[in-house]
């Protein structure tokens, strides 16, 4: 009893706005590929036909933050780059989510050093951390599915009337 069968019979389905909006949101998560170092290669691999991130509706890697819902921070974030990452995150429209991909972004990884931020959660609200150095594409897809689960639970009205705190920061 699929959706198509219903359509041929002029049928209708009942659901809630929240369910439809949540389903739509989670099925078209457009990533912002913040590929800073080697994790980016695995992120690209996740988009290729073998792993095929398009199965999850996330094949549209947008290189402009204005069209993105999900930031995949893939790579070592230095203190200098942290400013850039945060600025790009601020430019993404709400609602938005963040994947910290790999050991470097999650905790600084092997770069226990003066120039690397020891975990991007010091300046970004991270939703999912991905283990690995670099994580395999399956692991990234798993992170994406976890995010989708989280997005599916959002309600339609969750992101209404949000004050743009980022805007104030940008104007400072």
Partner 1 sequence: MNLKELITDKVIEKFGTALEEVSDFRDDICLTVSSDQIVAIGKFLKDDSDLQFITCKDITAIDWGTRKKRFTAVYHIYSFKLNCTLRIKANIDADPPAIETVTSVWRSADWYERETFDMYGIKFTNHPDLRRMYMPEGFEHHPLRKDFPVIGIPGSLPLPHQAE
Q: How far is CA 122 from the centre of its chain?
A: 17
CB of 164 to partner 1, least distance (A): 9
Q: Which of 17, 79, 145, 155 binds partner 1 (CB under 8 A)?
A: 79
State the Cα–Cα distance between residues 135 and 121, nearest whole angstrom: 18
Greatest extent of the chain over all pairs of C-alpha atoms, in Å = 66
Contact 65, 88 (CB under 8 A): yes
Judged by CB under 8 A, which stretch of 46-54, 96-104, 133-141, 162-170 contacts partner 1?
Answer: 162-170
Q: In what order do the strands lie in the sheet with 31-35?
A: 31-35, 70-74, 97-101, 128-130
Question: Please, which residues bridge with residue 70 across strands?
Answer: 31, 97
Smaller CB separation from partner 1, 7 or 167 = 167
Question: Please, which residues bridge with residue 74 across strands?
Answer: 35, 101
Site for partner 1 in 80-119 (CB under 8 A): 80, 82-83, 85-87, 90, 112-115, 117
* Segment holding 88, helix H or strand E: helix 79-91
First-last CA distance in the chain: 56
CB of 157 to partner 1, least distance (A): 19
Smaller CB separation from partner 1, 158 or 166 = 166
CB of 82 to partner 1, least distance (A): 6
Binding status of residue 28 toward partner 1 by CB under 8 A: no
CB of 4 to partner 1, least distance (A): 43
Q: Which of 30, 51, 56, 123 binds partner 1 (CB under 8 A)?
A: 123
Residues in contact with partner 1 by the rule CB under 8 A: 79-80, 82-83, 85-87, 90, 112-115, 117, 122-125, 165-166, 169, 172
């Amino acid at each position: 009893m699929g959706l198509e069968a219903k359509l041929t019979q002029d049928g209708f389905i009942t659901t809630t706005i929240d369910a439809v909006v949540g389903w739509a949101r989670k099925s078209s998560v457009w990533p912002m590929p913040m590929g800073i170092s080697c994790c980016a290669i695995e992120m690209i691999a996740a988009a290729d036909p073998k792993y095929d991130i398009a199965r999850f509706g996330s094949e549209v890697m947008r290189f402009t933050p204005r069209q993105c819902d999900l930031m995949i921070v893939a790579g070592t974030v230095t203190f200098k780059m942290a400013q850039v990452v945060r600025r790009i995150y601020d430019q993404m429209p709400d609602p938005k989510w963040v994947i910290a991909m790999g050991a470097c972004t999650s905790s600084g990884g092997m770069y226990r050093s003066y120039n690397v931020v020891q975990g991007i959660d010091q300046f970004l609200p991270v939703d999912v951390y991905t283990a690995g150095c670099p994580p395999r594409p399956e692991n990234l897809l798993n992170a994406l599915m976890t995010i989708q689960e989280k997005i599916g639970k959002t309600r339609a009205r969750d992101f209404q009337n949000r004050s743009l705190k980022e805007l104030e920061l940008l104007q400072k």
